[in-house]
Amino acid sequence: MEPILPRPVAPRSPAEVVDALRAGGPALVALSGGIDSAVVALLAREALGERAVAVTLVGPSVSEDERRAARGAARAVGIAHEEVAADPLEREEYRRNPSNRCYFCRKVETDALRRYGAPRGILQYLDGVHTDDLGDDRPGLVALAEAGFLHPLLRAGWAKADVRAFARARGMPEWDRPSNACLASRIAHGQEISADLLGRIDAAEAAVRRRGFRRVRVRVAGTLARIEVDPEEVDRLRAPPMAESLRGELGALGFRSVAIDPRGYPARRGG
């Protein structure tokens, strides 16, 4: 099933986006740690004031780094912010980690957001999907469509570059924050997802970030961990003694083999 998405239009101005949100009534923004949903939160707050709330879903597939970023974004935007638990591991289909894993994750998450929003009179459920997202295989978009979520940036015809330009112009502190994805995206399809494995991935990526790397992925296949950083940072990561210390730290987390991808993080990849 293909997601039912609005057709992108010629890019609309921020004022037009605000007007459309204001007309829609009380809104809930699904706020991750990324700049896309942070921009939607800012626009919703400007449109609706106290009738807009940002909600960050927390659970085993959400890294501590993303939670911190979401809290910071909410403070910067000045929007009311709540954290709500959602655990996709409750669904066997998700744990099996098929190629459409994101569909089952989003079903759990959208159910949690609607349970939060319904008694509070929420009429609009908003996310940070933009036009660049349409080029990827995104089974999660199907679940969002089924749950009636709206995509203000997509409706406005904004691409990622438009989002970053707006955020920079408005002085948002994380306007250039690298895109991220849930921790489960690091696990090879077909390998079972568990809370323990997600926690070890989170700890492994935190170990790399502590050494000064902004974009980090620790991808897992069996007991192999493969570290990706931005291509221009690979040489620094591979140089001794950093590489040896990282291999030791990740080995202590239970990864029997630790490799550093010499190609770095591919710019085209979203996960």
pLDDT digits (tens, 9 = 90+) for 216-226: 999 999 999 99
pLDDT of residue 144 exceeding 90: yes
Which CATH fold would you assign to the domain 14-169?
Answer: Rossmann fold (3.40.50)
Same CATH topology for 14-169 and 194-260? no
**Cα–Cα distance for residue pair 18/20, rounded to 1 Å:** 5
Span 134-141, mean pLDDT?
79
pTM for this model (two decimals): 0.93
User: Nearest-CA neighbor of 126 among 34, 29, 52, 43?
Assistant: 29
Closest CA to 124 of 43, 3, 10, 70: 43
pLDDT for position 260: 97
Q: Which CATH class name applies to 194-260? A: alpha beta
Mean pLDDT of 186-213: 97
